[in-house]
Amino acid sequence: MIKVIQNFLKKKENKMKSHKQGTAHFEELTFKEQASSITATINALSGMIRNHLRRANIENRNVVGIHKKRFDQIKRMIHRNDGVR
């Protein structure tokens, strides 16, 4: 039984830190882990915008204008990071 517990704890120690679970700051992640985190964030943002546009449509708002605003926000974010080295 003690051996089982020791193996469990050893495996737990060897696991990668997870940004999602709040055990590591983004800067502490490896390049690959940072890339995965960025991809997950982009996918989540895409879903939020899609749901936001659906809500806008339900509430009879200007969906085209709102889509343009969100697109412009994303463009501004991208340009804020131009030339970052």
Global pTM exceeds 0.75: no
Per the model's pLDDT, the better-predicted residue between 2 and 16 turns out to be 2
Confidence of residue 15 (pLDDT cuts 50, 70, 90): low
55 pLDDT above the threshold of 90: yes
pLDDT at 10 > cutoff 70 = no
- The b/e string for 26-53 (b: 16+ C-beta within 10 A; e otherwise) is eeebeeebeeebeeeeeeeeeeebeeeb
